[in-house]
Structure 1
Amino acid sequence: MNTKKHLISLIALLITTFALVAHADTLNFRKAKKELQKVYSDNQISFYCGCTFSSQLKAGSKTKKRLTPDWDSCGYTPRKQPNRASRIEWEHVMPAHHFGQHMQCWRDGGRKVCKKDNVFKEMEGDMHNLVPAIGEVNGDRSNFKYGMIENESRVYGSCDAEVDFKGKRFEPSPSVRGDIARTYFYMSERYNVRLSKQQRQLLSAWDKLDPVDDWERTKNKRIESIQGNSNPFIQ
């Protein structure tokens, strides 16, 4: 009887593993970024700063394009890196460092080693955790935790995003704080990523202060149609 139960459990585990491997193969980070351009085709607005963006030819190229933000649309002023600020990048709301550090591959060699891990590839390419951001802001945010920053000056012109490099903290605009909270809750539940008590308290407050809007619902449905699952925290 015990042998039979063990065999059933083993078969179930193999089926789950096979499905996860197949899923990760189709939704890695590279492919997810291409699919997200379709998701955002009629809502090309950067996450943190609210800049409109569009696909334009790269400087000096006749064929290659990249997503380019319109700084004037949101009053953006580069802090230090105008070149990186001139492109849109796909930002992990929950940084790869946060969800990767709990994995053995990360302890064995960080993101480079985890690139070969199918579970990590699925997490890295999960479209519910990816948003379009101005490259410079994405780079400055790095893997900093979200939080409130007192008396910190804005360094990106009119963009309502603040960064404390010394304290390794990033304060987003109130208009996206709920989106961030629901993304963190999703990643924590789906991949069993640990959140501290302090994080949960802050994110719970943000979730209530910035409720789900129509675009968030639309995006959730579009990603579900491509990726096969929705964010249950978006109702």
Structure 2
Amino acid sequence: MKLRFFIVLALLVISQVSFAKVDPTAAPQHYNYRDASKQLRRVYYGELQETLYCGCKYDDKKNVDFSSCDFKPRDNPNRKSTKRAERIEWEHMVTAHNMGHFLSCWKEGGRKNCSANDTTFKIMEGDMHNLYPAIGEVNGDRNNFMYSQWTNNPTPMYGNCKTIVDFKEKKAQPREEARGIVARASFYMEKTYGVKLSNQDRRLFEAWDKMYPVTDKECERDRRIFKVQGDHNPFVHEKCKQ
């Protein structure tokens, strides 16, 4: 009799736990950047294992397949930068500087201080809707530069990758396939955390949002993030339902 009681009790507990895992009304589970980086493998697998700026494929060990996108590290005497091209990094489309420079923690010690001590910044820094795999060298070159569009015929910097960076003017022009993605991520960060867009950026991103509509892959990415983090990017999700 006791054995039967414990079996029934165990089944009830399991059923409650299983229900909690799929409860659509549950609060979002946000992570800090370090923990989000570990969870992102649950989002970027299979067809989504592709870099933002160059469309390169990579494997489960984060080894980049240069031949999949005709990528080539740019001519650079800095071996450290060239080595960085061989690895995948999680790129903040809305930069950490843009997220945190208005916070008091940033003024007192920059990103490192905010990551360690400011709860608001920790949540922003780890939000998966703003994180995308990128080749480390391109991520490093983009730095904290804002997005821009200044030429329809970019001179390639990384083999046949269409993303370019203007170091003198401190701006980055993403390839066409990335433009709608970064626009909708920027709208999300403004709506969710109040990271303001300049009038110039807003006009650019509104144009990109229309010119480069949501794709099936972007919808799948949003669905996977929802399963891990518990919330959607409404600027993507609402268009996926249409």
Do 1:32 and 1:125's aligned partners in 2 also have CA atoms closer than 8 Å?
yes
Computed over aligned residues only, the root mean square deviation of the Cα atoms, in angstroms, reads 1.5
Deviation readout 1:86-119 (Å, 9 max, x if unpaired) = 0000000000000111211112221121011111
Aligned to 1:230: 232
Q: Does 1:31 align with 2:35?
A: yes
SS at match of 1:163: strand
Offset of residue 149 of structure 1: 2.9
Identity of aligned residues (%): 49
150-159 vs 121-130, greater mean Cα deviation: 150-159
Q: What's the CA shift for 1:152?
A: 5.0
Give 1:153 deviation, angstroms.
2.2
**Deviation at 1:154?**
1.4
TM-score normalised to structure 1 length:
0.83
Per the alignment, residue 148 of structure 1 pairs with 149
The reply to whether residue 49 of structure 1 matches residue 44 of structure 2 is no
User: How many residues are matched?
Assistant: 203
Give the structure 2 partner of residue 61 of structure 1: none
Partner Cα separation in structure 2 for residue 156 and residue 228 of structure 1: 36
Question: Is 1:78 matched with 2:82?
Answer: no
Of 220, 223, 231 in structure 1, the residue corresponding to residue 222 of structure 2 is 220
Runs of 4+ in structure 1 over 2 Å off: 149-153
Unmatched runs of 5 consecutive residues or more in structure 1:
1-21, 57-66
AA of the residue aligned to 1:47: L
* TM-aligned CA deviation for residue 23 of structure 1: 7.0
1:2-13 superposed matches below 5 A: none
Return the TM-score normalized by structure 2.
0.81
Q: Does 1:192 align with 2:194?
A: yes
Structure with larger Rg: 2
Tell me the residue number matched to 1:111.
111
How far apart in 1 are the matches of 2:94 and 2:72?
25
Q: Match for residue 176 of structure 2?
A: 174
> In structure 2, how many angstroms separate the alpha carbons of the residues matched to 1:216 and 1:199?
21
Q: CA deviation at 1:73?
A: 0.8
What stretches of structure 2 of length at least 5 have no aligned partner? 1-26
SS in 1 for 2:214: coil
